[in-house]
Structure 1
Amino acid sequence: MSNASATLTVWASAWLAGAAAPDDALDALTAWAPVQRVHAADPETAAQTGLPGPGAGTVGAAALFTTLRRSTAGGRAGSGAEVRLVLPVAGDVRGLPAGTSFARAALAAGEGVLVPDAGLGLVPAAEGEEALRWVVHSLPVDVPPAEHVGLAEAEHALRSAVRDSARALDELQVAREDATVRQRIAAALRATPQPEWPRGVPPRALRVLDQAQHVGAILEAAAQDTPGGAWSAAAADAREQLLRPLWTDVRTAQLAAVAESVRVLAAHPSQR
């Protein structure tokens, strides 16, 4: 359940608040791909940001950070700006500015970064294993306020999800019928990039992010059509009904952990 948008949200927030060095922020993104490519989604956004438009080439992540600084704070270090993670899926599009190209792209990707002060939204797309493309969208409408979920509340829900996801494996007979499921969960966790985080990120937030990643790996195993998976339409529907609320808990926990990290870093910019 870890993703590049969470990494960018935390590091961009820290950098805009003066709590992180730019080189450290750029290095953190390379955990997802060694090459970062950035361009605007359309000519209007290109004119607004100075980024290349579609078909006009790309620039590196340094230009993205510069664009955010210029768009939010006029280049003043330490001023900070709101940067927000979104993790939309069908049926759960909280936080998305409706009817925008960003909303459509973020829903398709399952992730994105909102910068309301700049009127911008960013969506990543992997290009093989070597490159990650960030497409920058302008937001012509007001961004709805963030839905606040406390970290303690999210952590409690996630602990329940840990227990429920273990039961889900048993009820779906995944663990019993597929002897490799535990190995697949461990392999998925090992394969997930582990970016560095800025100094000052609350340990509790990091713990919740780790728990969310682990539960997400369990749920992905439970969702696969293994020998213990769904054999019929009715079984597939039962599986979906069982796993959907657990996925919601995982996304909520990650959103809460990232939001708390952003809040703390913005409040204590001298930690760099």
Structure 2
Amino acid sequence: MCCPSATLAVWSSAWLSGAAASDDVLDALQVWGEAHEVVAHDDATAEVFDVPVAGDVPATPARLLGALRRLGSTDSRLVLPVAGDVRGLGAGGPFASAALGAGEALVFADLGYGVVPRHLAEGLWRWTVFTVAAHPISGTPAPEYVPLGEAEHGLTEAVRESAGALQALDVAGDRPGVRAELSARLRATPRQDWPRGMPGRALRVLQRAEEVGAILDLARADEPGGAVSASAAARRAQALRPLDEAVRRARCAAVNEAVRLLARTSETF
């Protein structure tokens, strides 16, 4: 089910387009935790979004939704940055650092702001709104647009190539019960509901990325039959890197395509 930023991206877009109620957005976020709060990183951002700065009594996600509608946001993009791939995060600064630390963020490219979730405690998430530092020449970056078909094809190819590499390295060996582990992991993942109008192909790609992501988690684990030496672990990480990148790319492409199509529905009203 990807990540909290993906949930907020899709559901807030559905709300802004009139395809969902604000309560639907709040209910969807509860898959991740019972309580969500919103703060701003600095005073200027707090004034724009009408939410308190960090350290004051936080606002609710409903306040964030109201600000997005008031500001006219129509272009939210999911980013899943990792070290070495910080595309879409702007010219560094607090937002980029927070997003990289969280491994996820939601960028409102049309507004020049971004929001990063942080898991504070069991059942509690904090969303912090940041200004996205603009490049002095290119301006505020819009995260890379990846066609859904291209991302889906890339995921399929990465699965094939990584499977061959891992087999050659024999790092998955004869690990017993791996299919049962995978099934259990997928069953334990909370089920995310999506709004009416969620594009079928985007949903299919997202679900496929989740399945491959679960396989990645198992492949990384140092269980019996897995790589245990430092050199074998390094080779395994190298073999899995393209697959990890393909999963992140597919997740972003699926979510951002859903956001794009949901935003278009508002143009028909």
Unaligned runs of 5+ in 2: none
Equivalent position to 2:204, from 207, 217, 240: 207
> Is residue 39–residue 59 contact of structure 1 (8 Å, CA) maintained in 2?
yes
Unaligned runs of 5+ in 1: 74-79
The whole-number CA distance in structure 2 between the counterparts of 1:4 and 1:271 is: 28
The whole-number CA distance in structure 2 between the counterparts of 1:194 and 1:161 is: 26
> Aligned residue for 2:50?
50
The CA deviation at 1:164 is 3.9
Instruction: Please identify, of 9-18 and 104-113, the stretch whose mean Cα deviation from structure 2 is larger.
Output: 9-18
> Aligned residue for 1:114?
107
> Is residue 15–residue 22 contact of structure 1 (8 Å, CA) maintained in 2?
yes
Q: Could you give the per-residue CA deviations for residues 162-217 of structure 1, whole angstroms, max 9, x where no partner exists?
A: 33454455445454343243333223222323221111111111000000000011
How many pairs are equivalent? 265
The whole-number CA distance in structure 1 between the counterparts of 2:74 and 2:261 is: 13
**TM-score (structure 1 length as normaliser):** 0.89
Asked whether 1:97 is paired with 2:90, we answer yes
The CA deviation at 1:133 is 1.3
Where 1:176 maps in the other structure, the secondary structure is: coil
Instruction: Please identify, of 38-47 and 259-268, the stretch whose mean Cα deviation from structure 2 is larger.
Output: 38-47
C-alpha RMSD of the superposition: 2.1
Asked whether 1:123 is paired with 2:116, we answer yes
The CA deviation at 1:21 is 1.8
The CA deviation at 1:153 is 1.2
Instruction: Please identify, of 247-256 and 40-49, the stretch whose mean Cα deviation from structure 2 is larger.
Output: 40-49
> Aligned residue for 1:157?
154
The whole-number CA distance in structure 2 between the counterparts of 1:165 and 1:62 is: 43
The percentage of aligned residue pairs carrying the same residue is 52
The whole-number CA distance in structure 2 between the counterparts of 1:241 and 1:212 is: 19
The whole-number CA distance in structure 1 between the counterparts of 2:27 and 2:56 is: 25
> Is residue 37–residue 58 contact of structure 1 (8 Å, CA) maintained in 2?
yes
The CA deviation at 1:117 is 2.5
> Aligned residue for 1:76?
none
Asked whether 1:235 is paired with 2:232, we answer yes
Residue identity opposite 2:5 in structure 1: S
Where 2:173 maps in the other structure, the secondary structure is: helix
> Is residue 161–residue 215 contact of structure 1 (8 Å, CA) maintained in 2?
no
Gap change, CA 1:174 and 1:239, over 3 Å in 2: closer
